[in-house]
Amino acid sequence: MSSISDPSASCGKPVSVLFVCLGNICRSTMAEAVFRHHVDVTPSSVSFSNIDSAGTGAYHIRSPPDSRTMSTLRRKGITNYTHSARKIHKADFTSFDYILAMDDDNLEDILSLRDSLQRTTKSKGEQSGKIAEVRLFGDFQDDGTLCKDASGGPLVPDPYYGGEDGFGEVFNLVTKFSKGFLKYLEKQSDTQG
């Protein structure tokens, strides 16, 4: 929720990104923490104004991340992350540049909410303005390229009902996708700058 990165190092406008899963206590929080960490330790031409996470459901509003998320992060050296779960809301579509879903169900829920926002805006005769790009987090490939379809990339499986191993798998996936997403943003910045 705070400013991330040194804006003076950026070639373009600071980027804002929202990671989304179902309950906002496992996958999206892990993605947020890992991406924040990656941005902090990786020299980049891209700056960030906001990095956050949310859920499509209201199951865990105001709860901290799952204890297994936090223990996985600590084991991997990320010790300064805090978050209070929240549900995605319509204002997020105009506040963020990217909204990244962890799986197809999340993506479908996010797109439905976005479409509802656009219908409401249109029915009121208002201009829609900038709307966030909605994608699967896994759509961003290792080399910084993007899957053609908004649901063409790998999914981040929900580890909630499993053991610690599932959280380790999620950590590895969101680390990989974070690197690909940052490379993608750098390529975008280079072509626009």
Name the active-site residue from 21, 36, 97, 139.
21
Position 2 scores a pLDDT of 31
Q: Is residue 127 part of a domain?
A: yes
CATH number, domain at 79?
Answer: 3.40.50.2300
Radius of gyration of the chain (CA): 16
Q: Is residue 1 part of a domain?
A: no
Position 193 scores a pLDDT of 57
Position 130 scores a pLDDT of 87
Domain that holds residue 156: 7-192
Between the alpha carbon of residue 182 and those of residues 58, 107, 114, 177, the distances in Å are: 29, 20, 24, 8
Helices marked H in the chain: 27-41, 67-75, 92-95, 104-123, 164-192
DSSP structural state of residue 143: T
Position 92 scores a pLDDT of 97
Confidence (pTM): 0.92
In the structure encoding, which two tokens stand for residue 126, read together? 């208002």
Position 1 scores a pLDDT of 33
Name the active-site residue from 6, 26, 27, 135.
27
CA distance 24 to 53: 7
36 annotated active-site:
no
Q: Is residue 146 part of a domain?
A: yes
Position 178 scores a pLDDT of 98
Q: Is residue 2 part of a domain?
A: no
Q: Is residue 28 part of a domain?
A: yes
Q: Is residue 18 part of a domain?
A: yes
Position 171 scores a pLDDT of 98
Position 125 scores a pLDDT of 75
Q: Is residue 132 part of a domain?
A: yes
Number of domains, the chain: 1
Question: DSSP characters for 80-133?
Answer: -------B--TTHHHH-SEEEESSHHHHHHHHHHHHHHHHHHHHTT-------E
52 annotated active-site:
no
Each residue's pLDDT, cut to its tens digit, for the chain (193 residues) gives: 333 333 333 457 999 999 999 999 999 999 999 999 999 999 999 999 999 999 999 999 999 999 999 999 999 999 999 999 999 999 999 999 999 999 999 999 999 999 999 898 888 777 667 899 999 999 999 999 998 876 899 999 999 999 999 999 999 999 999 999 999 999 998 877 5
Name the active-site residue from 52, 66, 97, 158.
158
68 annotated active-site:
no
